[in-house]
A = this chain, B = another copy of it.
């Protein structure tokens, strides 16, 4: 691994930079970001060795595109235009269908690999980057067969070298699954935060009682709107469907509450306790 370019030096891009540096000591990491302040922070924090510009991409061996998904749609074809024939470009976006479409007919499609590392925190920007963020995490790869075999090999080795497990999925299936397991969680959390903030005018009361479950369910409401609004837009059909089902389940719970059917409520909760077994083995913070 020699010249690695990271475009977008936030939590995701910055953490890739740190992990690659720690595994491939000889790699030179270049950073590109339209936010000059983030770029300077990335140098200061030691995420990257040097700042770079788009025209430098001709020297890249690996390019990581870690920007909001709306930006990716425009940026990925431009990056592919600029890189050499042996370079591999991968993204890290939370939607895959439109991103795969955006490069589908590009002459350098075989230099691109569509990825979604299932890792992150609710924080953003270069200071949110964490070494080891990707260790023991899953990376979902879409349309792997459309990437040149040698480049697949190189980038999959990179992923396993930094400790990731690989799963393959088609872009449509990815977007349907992730709507339930990730995108809906974010909406549920944002609207929970909104409901509580609207009602609890005294912030001290929120703070003092937040230990009773609120702080973990509302954690995702700290997430960046600049990242999430484009995700909801690109995965609109799936997210709308999951949200409708979630509202219907909440409405049914409300109806049971109103009718005083607490045995039925007990059984609803008991059935959902099955999530314990499903998530066993995932490292869940205790409180």
A interface with B by C-beta (< 8 Å): 94, 118-121, 123, 130, 133, 137-138, 140, 167, 177-178, 180-182, 184-200, 203, 205-223, 225-226, 228-230, 232-233, 236, 239-240, 242-247, 249-251, 253-254, 257-258, 260, 262-263, 265-276, 278-279, 281-282, 284-287
- Pick the most buried of A188, A189, A269, A278: most chain B CB atoms within 10 A of its CB: A269
List of B residues within 8 angstroms of A185 by Cβ: 192, 212-214, 216-218
List of B residues within 8 angstroms of A282 by Cβ: 207, 210-211, 215
A217 to B223 alpha-carbon distance, docked (Å): 13
Query: Are B284 and A194 in touch, CB under 8 angstroms?
Result: no
A130 to B274 alpha-carbon distance, docked (Å): 24
Shortest distance in angstroms between A184's beta carbon and chain B's nearest beta carbon? Answer: 7
Contact of A120 among B178, B188, B230, B287 (CB under 8 A): B287
List of B residues within 8 angstroms of A195 by Cβ: 180, 184, 242, 245-246, 249
Contact status of A200 and B180, CB under 8 A, knowing A221-B273, A243-B250, A271-B194: yes
Contact status of A245 and B199, CB under 8 A, knowing A193-B272, A206-B278: yes
Query: Are B285 and A198 in touch, CB under 8 angstroms?
Result: no
Q: Is the interface of A mostly helix, strand, loop or mixed?
A: helix
A220 to B118 alpha-carbon distance, docked (Å): 21
Query: Are A262 and B229 in touch, CB under 8 angstroms?
Result: yes
List of B residues within 8 angstroms of A190 by Cβ: 253, 268-269, 272
Given contact pairs A198-B249, A216-B219, enumerate 17 new A-B contacts (beta carbons under 8 Å).
A120-B287, A138-B209, A140-B209, A167-B208, A181-B205, A181-B210, A181-B213, A191-B246, A192-B246, A193-B272, A194-B271, A215-B284, A217-B217, A221-B269, A222-B276, A225-B273, A243-B254
List of B residues within 8 angstroms of A221 by Cβ: 269, 272-273, 275
Q: Which residue of B lies closest to A94 (CB)?
A: B212
- Pick the most buried of A118, A244, A272: most chain B CB atoms within 10 A of its CB: A272
Query: Are A216 and B285 in touch, CB under 8 angstroms?
Result: yes
A260 to B232 alpha-carbon distance, docked (Å): 10
Query: Are A275 and B193 in touch, CB under 8 angstroms?
Result: yes
For this complex, 22 residue pairs linking A to B, each with C-beta atoms less than 8 Å apart, are A118-B208, A118-B212, A120-B211, A120-B212, A121-B287, A123-B286, A177-B209, A182-B213, A186-B213, A188-B217, A192-B246, A194-B249, A194-B272, A197-B275, A210-B282, A218-B275, A221-B269, A222-B273, A243-B250, A246-B250, A247-B254, A285-B287
A226 to B262 alpha-carbon distance, docked (Å): 11
A228 to B266 alpha-carbon distance, docked (Å): 8
Query: Are B189 and A217 in touch, CB under 8 angstroms?
Result: yes
